[in-house]
């Protein structure tokens, strides 16, 4: 039953991608961000990372699509293998589709501060080459979303998560068969809010994730908090090309990263407080 559900969810998301080809609007960006205080569980070092990313958002007759792909390149404090002087490389992709109940049904779902209601489905996918874990995360999400009536947007979703991983330990050369964590919920906020008519915006997301049972090594996981927020300047507006080039500062607060207890064996590497610089070009 679980496998059939997952296949159905993936097929639904592929269908939504096809529908997005007839987009009413779209925004694609390529960008770069950098920070020197990234952390990884079981690694107490401050890690420098250069991150290239591609993001795409679009709207069509019945909802919206969002895709982001990060290429994360660490310094040698997060090595690519045991004894390596080269840093780890990681690719991380996120896709979300929002199906707007109001647009599908032709009804008005406004109430109080809420202007819309719908269903969000999506997936996360990653692959990382590093010394200790070599993550191969696969994640599906599904749940209701409220759209709040604010300038810009503020969406709040309660998502059920189905996550698995199949790590490989470079030190012991042990490969773990794909392991499925317990299904668990996440409260997700996503926002992009203009600031007082200025060429500034406050953007980001916040994930509050419940514990997901025991991990593949039999250790209990814990609740996880991941907040990533940016203050962005619309620099393109200064030469009559608004919303084309943005510069800003970013900050990520990530406690109990990947469900690892920062107060346990994973240590301070499971708790990152990372300032970054960020630049993005939109087309």
Of 35, 32, 23, give the one whose Cα is nearest residue 251: 35
Instruction: Give pLDDT, residue 1.
Output: 47
Q: List the one residue out of 170, 174, 165 whose CA is nearest residue 135.
A: 165
What is the pLDDT at residue 262?
Answer: 97
pLDDT at residue number 232 = 98
According to CATH, what is the number of the domain 2-282? 2.40.230.20
180-to-8, 77, 167, 205 alpha-carbon distances in Å: 18, 29, 12, 25
What pLDDT does 172 receive? 82
User: Which pLDDT score, from 0 to 100, does residue 184 have?
Assistant: 98
| Other CB atoms within 10 Å distance of the CB of residue 144 | 13
Which of these, 97, 200, 203, lies nearest to 157 by C-alpha position?
97
CA 214 to chain centre: 22
Percent of the chain at pLDDT above 70? 92
pLDDT confidence of residue 84: 94
Spans of the chain, pLDDT less than 50:
1, 5, 8-9, 11-12, 15-16, 19-20
- CA distances 121 to 65, 77, 100, 252, Å, are 10, 35, 12, 24
Could you tell me the residue ranges of all domains in the chain?
A: 2-282
pLDDT of residue 160: 98
């Amino acid at each position: 039953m679980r496998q059939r559900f997952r296949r159905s969810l993936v097929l639904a998301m592929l269908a939504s991608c096809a529908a997005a080809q007839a987009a009413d609007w779209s925004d694609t960006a390529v960008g770069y961000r950098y920070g020197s205080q990234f952390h990884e569980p079981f690694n107490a070092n401050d890690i420098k990372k250069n991150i290239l990313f591609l993001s795409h958002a679009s709207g069509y007759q019945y909802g919206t699509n969002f895709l982001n792909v990060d290429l994360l390149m660490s310094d040698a404090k997060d090595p690519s293998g045991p004894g390596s002087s080269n840093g780890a490389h990681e690719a991380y992709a996120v896709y979300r589709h929002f199906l707007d109940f109001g647009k599908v049904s032709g009804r008005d779902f406004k109430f109080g501060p809420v202007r819309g209601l719908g269903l969000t489905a999506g997936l996360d996918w990653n692959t990382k080459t590093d010394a200790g874990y070599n993550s191969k995360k696969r994640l599906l999400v599904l749940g209701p979303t409220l759209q709040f009536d604010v300038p810009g947007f503020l969406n709040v979703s309660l998502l059920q998560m189905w996550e698995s991983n199949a790590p490989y330990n470079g030190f012991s050369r042990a490969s773990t068969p794909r392991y499925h964590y317990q299904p668990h919920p996440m409260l997700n906020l996503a926002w992009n809010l203009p600031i007082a008519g200025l060429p500034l915006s406050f953007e980001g997301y916040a994930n509050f994730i419940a514990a997901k049972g025991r991990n593949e090594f039999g250790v209990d996981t814990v609740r996880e908090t991941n907040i990533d927020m940016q203050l962005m300047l619309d620099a393109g507006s200064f030469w009559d090309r608004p919303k084309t080039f943005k510069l800003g500062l970013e900050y990520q607060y990530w406690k109990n990263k990947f469900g690892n207890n920062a107060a346990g064996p994973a240590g301070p590497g499971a708790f990152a407080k990372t300032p970054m610089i960020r630049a993005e070009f939109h087309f």
